[in-house]
Amino acid sequence: MHSRWAVACQEELEVATSNDYDFGWSHDMPASLSVADFKMFRAVCELRYNDAYLIWDRSGQVFHDIADSFTDLKVITAVPINVACRSDEGQFALELGQCRFTSENPESNLEKFAGHCKRYFEVVADCLEIKVFTRIGFRTMFRKDLRNLDEAMAALAGLRLVNLEEDLRFGAEKNPQEIALRWQSEQIGAMLRLKAESGAVDVVLPPELEAASPSIHKEIIGLLADIDYYTVAPVERGQWDASAWIPQAIRTVRREVDRILNR
C-alpha cells in the first residue's frame, strides 16, 4: 500500500515538473512566444447537467461498466453524490450535476484523451439518463519553465496584454503577475489566464519505504497558460461526440492562443 502511495506522489511530482529545460530567456529584449514554447501538463473535460438523482442508485454501475476500458481503476472517494476514481489513464469524478475526466501530461493532439472521455461520458449519460448537457467545459494547462520569478514576470509583461504604464500598483509591483481575459457569446466562451508563478512541490515519504531521501522537493517556476473553452448554450447529448469535438477544440485553443501571444 505504501509503495502505491509513493508511486502516486511521484506521479504528482512529475505532473507538476514535467519540463526541466533551460530556455535561455534574454533580459535584454522580450522574445516572442507561441504555444509551441509551452508544455501541456493537464487536460480536463467536464460535463454539467441538471441534477441527476439516479446517481444514488447507479454510481457504482458507472464505474463497473468502465472498469474493463481503463487500467487499474481504483476508487479514491465514494460518497453518495461524489465519487472519484483513478486509473493509469487519468482521474474520474462523478457528482450530482457534473462529471469530468482529467489527464496529466497528455499527448499533444489529445486523441487518446478524447477517446477516454467518449467512453466515460457515454456510460455516465446512459446510466444517469442524461439527455442534455448544460455546459461542456474543456480546460488545458500549459507551462513554460523559466529560471526565476523575475524572468516569468518579464515574459508576461513582454506580451503587452495590459495597456497600463509601468508604475507601482497598490504598493506591490509595477507589472501584474497574473492576467485573465474572457470572451463569450451566446453559444461559446473562453477564458485565458496567464500567470508568472513560483512555487514548490514537497512530498514526505513514509519511513517504511526506506528511501535514500525521506522527502522530495521540487521548485516550479515559469509562465502558466490556463485556458477554459466551454459551451454556453445547452447541447443535446446526441449532437456531441467527445472523440470529434475535443481534437477540434484543442486546435482552436492553440490557434487562438498563438494569435494572442503573437499579436
Give the whole-angstrom CA distance, residue 257 versus residue 193.
11
pLDDT tens for 115-153 read 999 999 999 999 999 999 999 999 999 999 999 999 999
Tell how far CA 171 is from the center of its chain: 33
Nearby residues of 239 by Cβ (< 8 Å), 6 or more positions away: none
User: pLDDT per residue over 223-239, tens digit each?
Assistant: 999 999 999 999 999 99
- The SS3 call for residue 76 is strand
Task: Please tell me whether residue 80 adopts helix, strand or coil conformation.
Answer: coil
pTM: 0.82
Helix (H, G, I), strand (E, B) or coil at 125: helix
pLDDT bracket for residue 3 (50, 70, 90):
very low
Q: Which domain holds residue 180?
A: 2-261
CA distance 32 to 29: 10
Domain count, the chain: 1
